[in-house]
Chains A and B, each alone.
Chain A
């Protein structure tokens, strides 16, 4: 039995000389949540569009459950796009029924499924409200519901929690977990929220410049990039950051030192035990510490380590 439901083989996409995706190969397991991370313009959405058959790759191929993506039955994949893709003049119920009809869901099943989705995503009260009159959070939840009304095997969620308040985000996270745990769906989740990817993903793929940089569990990625803790130091004079970083790099057993948002991040094993030596170095430079904290390594640290701190547009 094939454990992998999606297999991308050496996918490339070239837009008039710009290589958006460059030899991407990855396999997605059945019933897992795969976090798909990358900076803006890294090629995430392009990769996903190729994987669901909306975009033709320049080269390479995508297999869904062993079949080429263009030969796969349309109802197998559900896509919740990054943007709100809704019919403003239709109500929530009408929108869901329309998409159910488009996927040829039998009427009696569709009726109960629509009501269930409205209930699960807290939209029952707004079932007969036209989309243009919904709040942003409601629209997001409807956007998700439209991707699920035909009960696809594979659910692609492209930045689903963008712009959601913490309450709506919690509803969404619980629902994504239920998709995996209760319905055994395969979920591909792209997000810029490292916390979201860390909490929800079984495995995480990090992509940049169209290339797959890493694919592993969040725990393994954190271990691989840097075990131990991170000491965050904010100096009273950030102009001295570079001087301090140079001094830190000379210390034994310090794994890495980077500057992030004018804060120096020092990664080291047993960081608490090394704190006196770290602070001693700062004093030697002759600058005062405005703030200092110690925290555990996060997926965000991994992401920055791999993709750098340079701003992407």
Chain B
């Protein structure tokens, strides 16, 4: 199979080209280090995060005391009162509002995230309390013989722009607080069931909050590190363009064209090593990021997903490289043109800083921004979702789907243009 020989050839050329390595790895690693030091949180003071809370909770009756309570209000109060550890600074500035107003605030970036508390939140908390009591005492909270407690689940929604750093930080902290809330609730119930004499009113909720590991030191760098990976992947386009143009310029492509090699062999053969490079870029830059303080939220599964996303982004970059190589007259021109395209493209994906929201429509129930035409925008969102926020396949499936679709389109264009201009007999 000739494409394997081409793949081996490209791979050997790649690993023997030290200057190419500088462009592919050292350059992005340098950026990673600079951004790590700049935004890694060194000397950074804690600041409150703006969030909106929409409380739909209709309340419930507490077991044992028959007291009417609204745990939605309770949770909102906790969010309002929570302070950073050993600090007088509040963690959140809470705006209590409704959903439409919250969406407006999110779009205007006046709040980083919106927490929607469902109608049955208090019922779910009560059910949790009853279940905890039953498991410890064997008795129901109501009358004797009616010990079966319904299993109620309340889903709290944290809404926001997943591509926005403010959302990333706020949602990370919110998730931590919600987990703490439930854990604290259970431990308080247990304490009261086992150790109180019944005179003290059970205190189910404590307003003291300790953040879960990781989020208390969540920094902008955690949001930027995946951006560096996307930047590196985008730079592949420059190297691919220069390599393909060099093949044209030195005449080796003409030599290959005279042989029995088909366009497929050349392009698919080239795809294999370059995709591996994209995977290596994600892995190496991930390790570098970890070494300089990246707070990895996911497990090994998130890393595998990130590599998959990286490979897809790499294929998109290879396609871009083909498009550039279809028109560049020399490898130097290809490199310059590549840089001219990939660096602004990195900015447009939001790799370095957040861009203003420019929603132009809706696609599969997701707002579609002008930057979303770039497959790397979705690669970046997916990398953040999985590496920074610890999301699994469900969290990135939409982004990966759109990234795949755009990559296929770009690849078809790249193959067509390169084959048309470079692989046909010259006119």
Give A86 to B256 CA distance when docked, in angstroms: 11
Residues 409-427 of chain B: 1 if any A CB is under 8 Å from the residue's CB, otherwise 0? Answer: 0000000000000000111
Q: Mark B9-39 against chain A: 1 for CB-CB distance below 8 A, else 0.
A: 1001100110000000000000000000000
Q: How far is the CA of A96 from the CA of B250 in the complex (A)?
A: 17
Cα–Cα distance between A150 and B256 once the two chains are bound (Å): 13
Residue from A54, A77, A89, A130 with most neighbouring chain B CB atoms (10 Å): A89
Q: In the assembly, what is the distance between CA of A85 and CA of B246, in Å?
A: 11
Within 8 Å of chain B (Cβ to Cβ): is A104?
A: yes
Per-residue A-contact encoding for B246-274, CB less than 8 Å = 1, 0 else: 00001110111111110001000000000
User: Complex Cα distance A85/B259, Å?
Assistant: 14
Interface contact A54-B5, CB-CB below 8 Å: no
Interface residue ranges of A104-127 to B (CB < 8 Å): 104
Instruction: Give Cα A55 to B259, complex, Å.
Output: 15
A101 at the interface (CB under 8 A from B): yes
- Partner of B12 from the list A55, A89, A102, A150 (CB cut-off 8 Å) is A89
Contact A89 B16 (CB under 8 A): yes
Nearest CB on A from B260, distance (A):
5
Task: Mark contacts of A72-115 with chain B using CB atoms, 8 A cut-off: 1 yes-contact digit, 0 otherwise.
Answer: 00110101010101110110001001110111100000000000
When distances are taken between beta carbons in the complex, the residues of chain B under 8 Å from A103 are 259-260
Contact of B2 among A86, A90, A104, A130 (CB under 8 A): A104
Question: Cβ of A98 and Cβ of B260 under 8 Å apart?
Answer: no
Contact call B256/A102, Cβ cutoff below 8 A: yes
Given A102-B259, A146-B255, check contact A54 B13 (CB 8 Å).
no
Q: Mark B95-115, 1 if CB is under 8 A from A, else 0.
A: 000000000000000000000
Contact B257 A56 (CB under 8 A): no
Q: How far is the CA of A94 from the CA of B16 in the complex (A)?
A: 13
Q: Is A197 an interface residue (CB 8 A)?
A: no
Is the pair A56, B425 in contact by a Cβ cutoff of 8 Å? yes
* Cβ B258 vs Cβ A52 within 8 A: yes
Bound complex: CA A313 to CA B13 (Å): 36
Select from chain B the residue with minimum beta-carbon distance to A132: B16
Contact residue among B12, B17, B260, B426 (Cβ-Cβ distance under 8 Å from A54): B426
Q: How far is the CB of B317 from chain A (nearest CB, A)?
A: 21
Query: How far is it, in angstroms, between the C-alpha of A104 and the C-alpha of B258 when the chains are bound?
Result: 13
Q: By the criterion CB–CB under 8 Å, are A101 and B251 in contact?
A: no
Nearest-neighbor residue (CB-CB) of B4 within chain A: A101
For B266, the closest partner residue in chain A by CB is A102
Cβ-defined contact, B12 with A74, below 8 A:
no
- Bound-state Cα–Cα, A194 to B257, Å: 31
B12 and A77: CB pair below 8 A? Answer: no
| Given A94-B12, A98-B5, A102-B2, CB of A87 within 8 Å of CB of B256 | no
Query: Is A60 an interface position by the 8 A CB rule?
Result: no
User: Is B258 a contact partner of A77 (Cβ separation < 8 A)?
Assistant: yes
B251 touches A81 (CB 8 A): yes
Task: Quote the shortest CB–CB distance from B364 to chain A (angstroms).
Answer: 44
Judge if A53 is at the interface, Cβ distance under 8 Å: yes
What residues of A have a CB within 8 angstroms of the CB of B255 in the complex? 79, 81, 85, 99, 146
Report whether B252 and A55 are in contact in the complex, using a CB–CB cutoff of 8 Å.
no
Task: Indicate whether A98 sits within 8 Å of B254 (C-beta atoms), given known contacts A54-B426, A89-B16.
Answer: no
A104 partner, pick from B260, B426, B427, beta carbons under 8 A: B260
Measured CB to CB, the nearest residue on chain B to A82 is: B251
Kindly provide the distance from the CB of A257 to the nearest chain B CB, expressed in whole angstroms.
Answer: 44
- For B2, list chain A residues within 8 Å (CB): 101-102, 104
Point out which of A49, A81, A85, A97 has the most chain B C-beta atoms below 10 A from its C-beta. A85
Known: A74-B258, A75-B260, A89-B17. A102 touches B427 (CB 8 A): no
Q: How far is the CB of A16 from chain B (nearest CB, A)?
A: 11
Task: Determine whether the beta carbon of A83 is less than 8 Å from that of B251.
Answer: yes
Query: Which residue of B has the minimal Cβ distance to A95?
Result: B9
Which of A54, A77, A94 has a CB less than 8 Å from the CB of B254?
Answer: A54
Known contacts being A55-B426, A74-B259, A146-B255, is A101 close to B13, with CB within 8 Å?
Answer: no
Nearest B-chain residue to A156, judged by Cβ: B258
Query: What B residues does A74 contact at CB under 8 A?
Result: 258-260
Which A residues are CB-close (under 8 A) to B16? 89, 130
Docked complex Cα distance between A118 and B13 (Å): 21
Contacts of B260 in A (CB 8 A): 74-75, 102-104
**Which residue of chain A is the closest to B254 with respect to CB atoms?**
A54
CB neighbours (8 Å) of A150 from chain B are 259
A243 to chain B, nearest CB (A): 50
Contacts of B9 in A (CB 8 A): 87, 90, 94, 98
Bound: A109/B425 CA distance, A: 30
Determine if A86 and B252 form an interchain contact, defined as CB atoms under 8 angstroms apart. Answer: yes
Find chain A residues with CB under 8 A from B13 CB. Answer: 87, 89-90
A152, closest chain B residue (CB)? B258
Give complex CA distance A75, B259 in Å: 6
Residue among B17, B260, B265 having the largest count of chain A Cβ atoms under 10 Å: B260
One digit per residue, 1 when the CB lies within 8 angstroms of any chain B CB and 0 when it does not, for chain A 159-193 equals: 00000000000000000000000000000000000
Q: Nearest B residue to A130 by beta-carbon distance?
A: B16
Residue contact A87 to B252, C-beta cutoff 8 Å: yes
A77 surroundings in chain B (CB, below 8 A): 258
From residue A127, how far is it (CB to closest CB) to chain B in Å? 15
- Is there contact, CB below 8 Å, between A79 and B258? yes
CB distance from B13 to the nearest CB of A (A): 4
Which chain B residues (32-83) contact chain A, with CB distance < 8 Å?
Answer: none
Per a CB cutoff under 8 Å, which of B5, B17, B261, B425 touches A53? B425
Give me 6 A-to-B residue pairs in the complex whose CB atoms sit less than 8 angstroms apart, sorted by A's number: A53-B258, A54-B425, A77-B258, A87-B252, A89-B13, A90-B9
Query: With contacts A70-B425, A75-B260 known, what are 5 further pairs, Cβ within 8 A?
Result: A53-B425, A55-B426, A81-B254, A99-B259, A146-B255
Across the A-B interface, give the 10 residue pairs with the lowest CB-CB distance, nearest first: A102-B259, A85-B251, A101-B5, A89-B16, A89-B13, A74-B260, A102-B261, A55-B426, A85-B255, A103-B259
